[in-house]
Chain A
Amino acid sequence: MRSSDERPLCRLEDIPDGRARGFLPVNRDDRVFVVRRGDRIRAYVNSCPHNWRPLDYAQDQFLSADGREIVCYAHGAHFSIDSGACIAGVCIGASLIPVPARVDNGMILIPLELPHTPE
Chain B
Amino acid sequence: MKILGPDALVFGVDDLDACYRYLTDYGLKKVDSAPSGARFEALDGTAAVVRRASDPGLPPPISAAPNIRDQIYGVADQPTLDAIGAELSKDRDVKAGGDGVLRSVDDTGYAIGFQVTQRRKIDAPRYINVPGMELHRPVNVIAAVDNGPTPIYSLSHVVLFAPDIERAEKFYAQRLGFRTADVFTNLGPFMRPAGTLEHHTLFLIKAPKPGLQHFTFHVADLNDMLRAGWNFVKKGYKSFWGPGRHILGSNNFWYFNSPFGGLMEFDCDMDLHDDSWKPRYIPASAQTSQTYLFQFAEKWAPGDQKH
Binding site for B on A (CB under 8 A): 27-29, 53-59, 61, 64-66, 71, 73-76, 78, 88-90, 92
Contacts and interface: CB of A to CB of B under 8 A. Distances in A.
A78 B64 contact: yes
Contact of B262 (A55, A66, A75): A75
Given A64-B14, A65-B15, A76 B238 contact: no
A56 B238 contact: yes
B18 to A, nearest CB: 8
Nearest to B207: A90
Label chain A's interface by main secondary structure. loop
Given A76-B67, A76-B212, A65 B14 contact: yes
Interface residues of B, number: 32
Contacts, number: 73
B263 to A, nearest CB: 6
A55 B257 CA distance: 8
Given A64-B14, A76-B262, A89 B239 contact: no
A89 B64 contact: yes
B209 to A, nearest CB: 5
Interface in B73-96: none
A89 B209 contact: yes
B51 to A, nearest CB: 14
B261 interface: yes
Given A76-B66, A76-B67, A90-B161, A53 B240 contact: yes
Q: Which 4 A-B pairs have the closest CB atoms?
A: A57-B257, A76-B261, A65-B14, A88-B64
